[in-house]
Amino acid sequence: MKQYITQDPWSIVETDFHRDYNEITESLMSLGNGRLGQRGNFEEKFTGKTLQGNYVAGVYYPDKTRVGWWKNGYPEYFAKVLNAANWAGIDIDIEYESLDLATCDVRDFRRELNMREGYLERSFVAVLKSGKEVKVNAKRFCSIVDDDAGAIRYSLTPLNFDAKITVTPYIDGAIRNRDANYDETFWDEVRKETGYGEAYIELRTRKTGFHVTTGMCVEIEQDGQKMDYQSQPIKYEKYVANRMTLDCQQGQETVIYKYAVNLSSLNHDSDELMRLAHEAIARVSRKGFDRMLFEQKQAWADKWKMNDIVIDGDVAAQQGIRFNIFQLNQTYTGEDERLNIGPKGFTGEKYGGSTYWDTEAYCLPFYLATADQKVARNLLIYRYKHLQKAIENARKLGFRAGAALYPMVTMNGEECHNEWEITFEEIHRNGAIAYAIYDYVRYTGDESYLTDYGLEVLIAISRFWSQRVNWSAAKKQYVMLGVTGPNEYENNVNNNWYTNYIAAWTLRYTIEAVGKVKALNPEKYADLCERIHFREEKEVQNAQHIVDNMHYPYDPERQVFLQQSDFLDKDLMPVSDIPKGQRPLNQNWSWDRILRSCFIKQADVLQGLYFFEDEFDTDTLRRNYAFYEPMTVHESSLSPCVHSIQASKLGMKEKAYEMYLRTARLDLDDYNNDTEDGCHITSMAGTWLAVVKGFGGMRVDAEGLSFSPYCPENWQGLAFKIRYRGALLQITTTQQDVTVQNFSVQPVTLRVHGETVTIAGESKQTVTIPVLA
Amino acid sequence: MKQYITQDPWSIVETDFHRDYNEITESLMSLGNGRLGQRGNFEEKFTGKTLQGNYVAGVYYPDKTRVGWWKNGYPEYFAKVLNAANWAGIDIDIEYESLDLATCDVRDFRRELNMREGYLERSFVAVLKSGKEVKVNAKRFCSIVDDDAGAIRYSLTPLNFDAKITVTPYIDGAIRNRDANYDETFWDEVRKETGYGEAYIELRTRKTGFHVTTGMCVEIEQDGQKMDYQSQPIKYEKYVANRMTLDCQQGQETVIYKYAVNLSSLNHDSDELMRLAHEAIARVSRKGFDRMLFEQKQAWADKWKMNDIVIDGDVAAQQGIRFNIFQLNQTYTGEDERLNIGPKGFTGEKYGGSTYWDTEAYCLPFYLATADQKVARNLLIYRYKHLQKAIENARKLGFRAGAALYPMVTMNGEECHNEWEITFEEIHRNGAIAYAIYDYVRYTGDESYLTDYGLEVLIAISRFWSQRVNWSAAKKQYVMLGVTGPNEYENNVNNNWYTNYIAAWTLRYTIEAVGKVKALNPEKYADLCERIHFREEKEVQNAQHIVDNMHYPYDPERQVFLQQSDFLDKDLMPVSDIPKGQRPLNQNWSWDRILRSCFIKQADVLQGLYFFEDEFDTDTLRRNYAFYEPMTVHESSLSPCVHSIQASKLGMKEKAYEMYLRTARLDLDDYNNDTEDGCHITSMAGTWLAVVKGFGGMRVDAEGLSFSPYCPENWQGLAFKIRYRGALLQITTTQQDVTVQNFSVQPVTLRVHGETVTIAGESKQTVTIPVLA
């Protein structure tokens, strides 16, 4: 755990330069707009610890998987979002000395990610070896208004010298992924062009053949005036630049504006990319830095108006939730149904920027409640479009007759995880994809989705479960052998309760959905049956038999569900018994020891009780929470949020707050010692859930929307907004009461702390929080 | 299954050239002498299917392991015996045409591995594109008399032309392992020299720094006379050669003699290698091909005198067993305690030529009964010398206080498997290493081994088992979670019966050995206790508690031991239910499907009943055999032999014979479709066991040596020899009776079919086989 980031309600601030933490800070200060992403790297050369990172959404590479010996069914490649051309670089040379914060003294350093307005700013005074002092202020952003574009304002002021300063803004495409499996280069150069103050380069990914054209142009200002300059174009392999030498006087500010655009063949004909890049560069430079930044601030203000969560009286908590919301908004906008949310977004290389079950289990509820309905729908459509690949994936593993196994990790629907054991065993992901359909329909009421897309996916997933279970003659029940549950600190277990439960639930929900669609639209239903050879009677009967006879491991003594059949054979002990200095376990224990231990990486049985809470009473939750939470090390970023929500439900306010801080400030405080790899983007949605479903107690069930909000002890107030079926509501909680404001014109009926209230259009109502006995 | 090899009692013969099977034939026709090994590659250039393979025992490379994501405790590298310089190559060019069997017509092709005399011979007529016909006869061997040397006699006769023929004998060190994890080169060149008809090259392995110097010299004979020739030395990177152009007349035989030596820094100071190679080349060329071959035949005759098994009336069976004995003798001589027996010997790259538990479980009994006692002892000493590394290996996984986990695969004692799951889970290997000590002491009576080496190893292994089990509060017994048994078609199971049994057995045997050593040599015992901090009372008490309370999964209904706790939850079905064309499963099913199935790769519970047969009655064996064998696919080469022995014991003669053929002709008939990777050397010892312990019914127990031999129905006779505590015996069986011949001077008492007989020195005795009711 590290605490060098200044607490501030709206900004992530580093004062003093923490060289050793630079890769962590780079992750935290990442910029993005859903289309482009960029780590918080320095513009000028830096020979210290750094992970250069620039990403273009959807542009990936199938990196051959590393395995000892190949076996049938292993995924052939691990898809990674590529580290792409660096468009932010500006090398600064002051009379034969490079400006490089690794090799000079640094004074008055400050770096800020301004989340309210969406930019990154850095200022410092560098004291070069020669004694020259230069003051720098650099500001940059990825535009969320023009999502091809980024802009930089880089200001230099010599403090104690006059000199010729050589400035080299460049685009560097000679980039490798640090996590490449075979140290290969993933990009080939296609063409490049340079002009006066401009440069363009088009690169193509190997194997996948994506083209990305990056362009830049440069303007120089001295004494507040644009100036002409001599520009020397430079071209190396996969590199273009313009070099200009400027006379700089002591105390005189020189400002370099660098505009950059990135266009990809995902959105344009690749033959057109170069021409379009020229046009785009002309467009952004015409608009200029200040205008672009003004639009940026306005656009972010609009986002915050819909998304912001206000916590009164706890800056650490406030900063945490805003950081999470900010990064989520930077990662995914929901406008392009081909895109999705990588666990690290565009903030690092690990997990390759691919899609995991995180999307359905954690992100979907966030977007359901904070964005237009089409955003959540696009996330569902993404999986619908991958259905044929999921069927193919299951076929490779020996399943038949339209059974679908969605991939653990994917870019285009194909399975592409790096570890076979996860690919084959962690099949509960299939359940999360079914659950997301349920979640969406429940929240939006949009039952037409079932008819048009949902049922087809549900049937395919149910076919998988029906084949994946087997009848145990010994137990006279259906069992599911050889799986890995959400707790990846167990491997290849039998009858993971969560997986068995979500499998049977999927079958139940599919049967229900069959009934609904048949009633709603018999014609479309008949078409579907024919198209996918769905033999209703037989398949439903079979599914029902499994539902009725599924095995759920259970401990009658403790009255808890068992994470897996043999869990009680383990040497059970609480996390508090682990000797000091041995956590996080994954950095201190052998994998073997972890697997054999009772320690749980993330909610597993509890994850199931979270998804299906309506099917269990509170005492059941309480018993299972009391049994499992003490053995849980939360070394998955996805764990604390679920625990926080459940602790809230169980009235364990302190625990809920502790878990909230852990999820909200996971990256800011580098809890798991891995933020340098990138931020945990998908778990940030979990943070939002911890507030809205945890402290806010929001639920949507058959009876509609409800809230049971409360404030943790040290908060004076909590306010959040949600969208619900066309309405926009703000829920404001103090220690005493809850006010629900209805911004929409239609009235909204909901329950607050169990009391049904109807709030007229454009008005609000306050409910006193009942005092619990 | 392929059957293109001619059945012959003493030779492996291919008539007609089977291009598509060439890599298989190359494996089968491998040559070796325990120090050098070589696949049956062609001397002349061949652009068809081929895997060039030359190996120098003990010279390996630590090839970085391929894993998706690293976790603590993963082995860092996979050690491979390196593909070394090719010393057999002789390129032949006939007036601008290369002799290359891939590009010309081939007539009268015949290739023979003569096992009786230990050489490889190949003859053919090549019809070149130009119409030229040339007759070739090539004979070569690795000398078992001078184990640095190999020799080739390569004869060319133009059948329908006169021409200048260019002959280029070479040494090619520009070799890569086909199975390199990262396509790296493993060799660097150190130096090279050429002289008249001679060439030398010294290469050094990367990382490990082994030096290997390979030298060659060439003699040419025409019309039966040695001749002078012009020789043009050639040197490329890692390549040396001499080129000579010879006038060859129609019908005239030209013979090229090529002598080669390989010396390594394993046995010599690396500065001396070049000089020694010159000396060795002088030595072998002085001796000459015919003399060397004569010595080779004599040496092989001596080996066969001790080792041969004669089967009367079944050429396929005869050829099979001789092939197995021949390859075992080629792989390991027992003279160097640093060497061991790789699963593929020197016949291919797979499994890297490293040491597995195969050595202890299968090979040791072969060498115990067929070689000098020191050979088996050297195999034990090999592990003794690796004890500290085994302790280090266990420590990496979190074990303490001198616990040792021997590696699954090793070259120098370090764990170096390619797959973490095997490394961590397949810990039963530790038991096999303890069992080998027991086996050796039982067979030889050499109890001093326990005092000097054995007990120290046993205590370290027992410490591992004591820590590896845990007390299950649920079962009120000790359990062992997360292991893989010998059946690698299950992964990460709980309470693998075999592993639990051999663990408890090790503890029992260690307690017994403690008592023995304490009584035999109290001083040495006290020294040992102090050196390894053995706290006898506490450790023995703890071990005994585990022995008394170990959990053994059992099915009371079927009265069989369960392979693992949840085995009965599987969908049980016989192998005969697998649809046609889906076997071998490992080439047709996804790994996932295999793991979930009930199908067994190799004996698991039965392996335990084989090792510990004295502790179970025959009915127990019968029930377990009847339960497990029908589910066993025998896709490990180590499986059929155990089944054959047990089928013999159970009187299931047909099954025993079927399983015998499968193990004896596994490679010759390419049962598992993988002989092209190399021959299954270690399982060849299993074949020998199937004859001697199976058909021969040999046992050594507390009462001494016994036999219960019988002949399979279609055999007229079976004769084999064994060594036993200084005696050499031959057991000859017909359908009616058994004759035991005692070649030694002292009398030997043993049991034959339960009848105790004493055979005087240098005499024999015949016992009639009792007719079973």
pLDDT in tens, B551-566: 999 999 999 999 999 9
pLDDT level of residue B420 (50, 70, 90 thresholds): confident
Q: Are B72 and A481 in contact (CB < 8 Å)? A: no
> What value does the mean pLDDT of chain B take?
94
CA B652 to chain A, closest CA, distance in angstroms equals 30
Distance of CA A699 to the CA centre of its chain: 23
- The shortest CB-CB distance from B590 to any of A181, A182, A396 is to A396
Q: Are A591 and B494 in contact (CB < 8 Å)? A: no
Q: Residues of A within the annotated binding site for substrate?
A: 357-358, 601-602
Q: What is the pTM of this model?
A: 0.91
Compute CA distances B405 → A324, B419, B433, B640, whole Å: 46, 16, 10, 28
Phi/psi at A315 (5° precision): -65, -40
Query: What is the amino acid identity at position A100?
Result: D
Cα(B155)–Cα(B142) distance, rounded to whole angstroms? 18
In sequence order, what are the residues at sequence separation of 6 or more whose Cβ sits closer than 8 angstroms to the Cβ of residue B528?
Answer: B455, B456, B517, B534
The proportion of chain B whose per-residue pLDDT surpasses 70, expressed as a percent, equals: 99
- Which residues of chain A are within 8 Å of residue B595 when distances are taken between CB atoms? 424, 482, 492
Q: Which two tokens stand for residue B281?
A: 């080349």
pLDDT at B211: 96
- Which residues of chain B are within 8 Å of residue A396 when distances are taken between CB atoms? 590
Q: How many CB atoms lie within 10 A of CB B395?
A: 16
- The shortest CB-CB distance from A68 to any of B78, B482, B569 is to B78
Cα(A171)–Cα(A88) distance, rounded to whole angstroms? 7
Cα(A522)–Cα(B137) distance, rounded to whole angstroms? 80
pLDDT at B350: 77
Say whether B119 sits in a helix, a strand or coil: strand
Which residues in A496-519 are b (16+ Cβ under 10 Å) and which e?
bbbbbbbbbbbbebbbebbebbbe
- Least CA distance to A475: which residue of chain B? B569
pLDDT level of residue B513 (50, 70, 90 thresholds): very high
Across-strand partners of B160?
A: none
Side by side, which strands form the sheet with A763-768?
A: A309-312, A717-724, A727-734, A737-742, A763-768
Q: What is the dihedral of CA B469, B471, B476, B480, to 10 degrees?
A: -30
pLDDT level of residue B65 (50, 70, 90 thresholds): confident
Please check if B132 is assigned to a binding site: no
- Which residues of chain B are within 8 Å of residue A560 when distances are taken between CB atoms? none
- The shortest CB-CB distance from A589 to any of B72, B421, B475 is to B72
Interface mutation vs chain B, best among A183, A396, A400, A592, most B CBs within 10 Å: A592
How many CB pairs below 8 A link A and B? 146
Label residue B58 left, alpha or beta by phi (over 0 means left) and psi (-120 to 50 means alpha).
Answer: left
State how beta strands A232-236 and B560-561 pair.
Answer: unpaired
Cα(B686)–Cα(B27) distance, rounded to whole angstroms? 19
pLDDT at A772: 63
Cα(B138)–Cα(B253) distance, rounded to whole angstroms? 12
Q: Which entry of A43, A425, A488, A629 is annotated as an active-site residue?
A: A488
Angle of helix A653-664 relative to helix A681-689, nearest 10 degrees, comes to: 150
Q: Which two tokens stand for residue A113?
A: 């990610």
Phi/psi at A758 (5° precision): -115, 125
**Quick check: A11 pLDDT over 70?**
yes
Query: What is the amino acid identity at position A243?
Result: R
Q: How many CB atoms lie within 10 A of CB A204?
A: 18
Instruction: Give per-residue pLDDT as tens, B184-233.
Output: 889 999 999 999 999 999 999 998 999 999 999 999 999 889 998 888 99
Q: Are A68 and B419 in contact (CB < 8 Å)? A: yes
Q: Are A572 and B473 in contact (CB < 8 Å)? A: yes
pLDDT at A737: 94
E-assigned strand segments in A470-518: 470-472, 477-479
Q: Are B588 and A72 in contact (CB < 8 Å)? A: yes
Instruction: Give per-residue pLDDT as tens, A424-454.
Output: 999 999 999 999 999 999 999 999 999 999 9
Cα(A561)–Cα(A616) distance, rounded to whole angstroms? 12
- Which residues of chain A are within 8 Å of residue B66 when distances are taken between CB atoms? 66-68, 181
Instruction: Give per-residue pLDDT as tens, B664-687.
Output: 999 999 988 889 999 999 989 999
**Interface predicted TM-score of the whole assembly (ipTM), two decimals:** 0.87
Interface mutation vs chain A, best among B590, B594, B598, B627, most A CBs within 10 Å: B590
DSSP structural state of residue A238 = T
- The shortest CB-CB distance from B66 to any of A66, A420, A588 is to A66
Say whether B334 sits in a helix, a strand or coil: coil
Q: Are B67 and A71 in contact (CB < 8 Å)? A: no
Own/partner contacts of B578-582, CB < 8 Å, gap of 24 or more, are B578/B633
Residue whose tokens read 């023979």: B112
State how beta strands B97-98 and A699-701 pair.
Answer: unpaired
Say whether B116 sits in a helix, a strand or coil: coil
**Quick check: B773 pLDDT over 60?**
no
Q: Are B417 and A68 in contact (CB < 8 Å)? A: yes
pLDDT level of residue B772 (50, 70, 90 thresholds): low
Query: What is the amino acid identity at position A34?
Result: G
Cα(A264)–Cα(A214) distance, rounded to whole angstroms? 9
- The shortest CB-CB distance from A491 to any of B68, B73, B492 is to B492
- Least CA distance to A494: which residue of chain B? B566
CA B52 to chain A, closest CA, distance in angstroms equals 21
pLDDT level of residue A352 (50, 70, 90 thresholds): low
Q: Are B420 and A482 in contact (CB < 8 Å)? A: no
Interface mutation vs chain A, best among B424, B592, B627, B635, most A CBs within 10 Å: B592
Provide Rg for chain A, Cα atoms: 27
Cα(A618)–Cα(A624) distance, rounded to whole angstroms? 10
**Quick check: A773 pLDDT over 60?**
no
Cα(A649)–Cα(B595) distance, rounded to whole angstroms? 40
**What average pLDDT does this structure show over A62-81?**
78
Answer for the pair B339, B330: CB distance below 8 angstroms, yes or no: no
Say whether A196 sits in a helix, a strand or coil: coil
Q: Which two tokens stand for residue B687?
A: 């074949």
Assigned architecture for domain B11-305: Distorted Sandwich (2.70)
Q: Are B68 and A67 in contact (CB < 8 Å)? A: yes
Compute CA distances A85 → A56, A172, A214, A331, B717, whole Å: 9, 5, 7, 19, 77
Closest CA to B160 of B198, B118, B190, B127: B127
CATH of A41-305, one of 2.60.40.3880, 1.10.287.40, 2.70.98.40, 2.60.120.10: 2.70.98.40
Phi/psi at B15 (5° precision): -110, 145
The topology (CATH level 3) of B372-633 is Glycosyltransferase (1.50.10)
Residues in chain B: 773
Cα(B167)–Cα(B530) distance, rounded to whole angstroms? 67
**Quick check: B334 pLDDT over 70?**
yes
pLDDT level of residue B575 (50, 70, 90 thresholds): very high
Answer for the pair B202, B274: CB distance below 8 angstroms, yes or no: yes
Say whether A346 sits in a helix, a strand or coil: coil
> What value does the mean pLDDT of chain A take?
94
pLDDT at A533: 97
CA A488 to chain B, closest CA, distance in angstroms equals 13
Q: Is A488 a catalytic residue?
A: yes
- Which residues of chain A are within 8 Å of residue B572 when distances are taken between CB atoms? 473
Residues in chain A: 773
Side by side, which strands form the sheet with A54-56?
A: A31-32, A36-38, A54-56
Q: Sort A422 into a burial class: Cβ within 10 Å, 0-12 / 13-18 / 19+.
A: buried
Q: Sort B474 into a burial class: Cβ within 10 Å, 0-12 / 13-18 / 19+.
A: middle
Q: Are B588 and A419 in contact (CB < 8 Å)? A: no
- Which residues of chain A are within 8 Å of residue B591 when distances are taken between CB atoms? 71-74, 420, 424
Instruction: Give per-residue pLDDT as tens, A489-546.
Output: 999 999 999 999 999 999 999 999 999 999 999 999 999 999 999 999 999 999 999 9
Instruction: Give per-residue pLDDT as tens, A701-746.
Output: 989 999 999 999 999 999 999 999 999 999 999 999 999 999 999 9
- The shortest CB-CB distance from A471 to any of B74, B419, B571 is to B571
Closest CA to B457 of B359, B558, B385: B385
Ordered DSSP codes for A264-291 = ETTTS-GGGHHHHHHHHHHHHHHH-HHH
In chain A, domain spans: 41-305
- Which residues of chain A are within 8 Å of residue B588 when distances are taken between CB atoms? 72
- Least CA distance to A393: which residue of chain B? B590
CA B490 to chain A, closest CA, distance in angstroms equals 9
- The shortest CB-CB distance from B73 to any of A74, A571, A592 is to A592
- Which residues of chain A are within 8 Å of residue B71 when distances are taken between CB atoms? 586, 590-591
Q: Which entry of B43, B202, B414, B488 is annotated as an active-site residue?
A: B488
In sequence order, what are the residues at sequence separation of 6 or more whose Cβ sits closer than 8 angstroms to the Cβ of residue A28?
Answer: A5, A12, A40, A113, A323, A667, A668, A675, A679
